Each structure stands twice: as C-alpha cells, then as structure tokens.
Amino acid sequence: MHPPGRRSLRAESFRTLPADRGLAGGLEAAALLCPVPVAVWVDLRGRPDAPVESALYFTATEALANVGRHAHATRAWLRASYADGLLSVVVADDGRGGADPSRGTGLRGIERRLAAFDGTLRVASPPGGPTEITMELPCVLSGPSSPRTTSSSATG
C-alpha cells in the first residue's frame, strides 16, 4: 500500500472543520492548501454557532478550490470579518475572471449552502479579472477571539 499523496491529503483536510481551531484556524489551514499564495485576514471577536461556522468554512474552501482550478491566478486573498450581525468571508484572486454562478456547480453549491442559513453569495468577476466572491451569513458570535493576519505559500 502506498502512502497517501498530496491530492488525497488535501481532499481529506477539507472534509472537516478543525473544531479546536474554529473558523479562523480552519480558513488559515485551507489557505495553505491552495496552489497559489493566499493572504489571510481574520477579524472575528468570537465564534459563531457550529453549523454557521461549518457552512462558512466549506463555502470558503470551495471558493479557494475554485481559485486553484479555474482562476489562473498568481495570488489570492481571504478576508473574514464580523459587523452588525453579519459574518462575511471574501475570497478574491488576480486571475482571469469570468466566474459565473449560472455556469457550473461549484458556485451554485456555495449559494445553496449559504441560503440554508439565510446567507448570501455575491460574485464580482469581470472577464479579465479580478474575481471577488463574498459570502455572508447573519449570526451572533460568542467567546473571545483575536484578529489574525497570515500569509500562505503555494504548496501545489
């Protein structure tokens, strides 16, 4: 039996949100697996309920996977913040643009997952780029957390 390859390790890592690290840690870990460098800014002063945290983690990892698969980007950035009862995660890249939720299943899947929690998806992706995917969910945060800024390097 052969040891698992990088591809299977990536697939496995996206299956679960690391509960001990929460959304902030999960997003940072997911960014490290993106094949292009991702700068990460997380400014969350607490944690949302587990279902909301999980929904945003999985939608953000899908958006990052799309960067690696389709964007032809040289860099990307992810920003997570909370204000006025709304948790927002933005994934953006300097790629070729043209992302469209009506084409393909990835963005539609993100939209459906967010809608289950009364959340929204906005896509700004003109031909030629850049692309910015904004995912927002209404929620309440609890418990202390600190703002974090990290930068990942491509591992692809």
* Chain segment 66-116, per-residue pLDDT in tens: 999 999 999 999 999 999 999 999 999 999 999 998 887 789 999 999 999
Comparison of pLDDT for 65 and 104, the residue scoring more: 65
Class of domain 21-151: alpha beta
Residue-wise pLDDT tens digits, 30-59: 999 999 999 999 999 899 999 999 999 999
Map out the domains of the chain as residue ranges: 21-151
How far is residue 65's CA from residue 33's CA, in Å, rounded to a whole number?
Answer: 9
pLDDT of 67 reads: 95
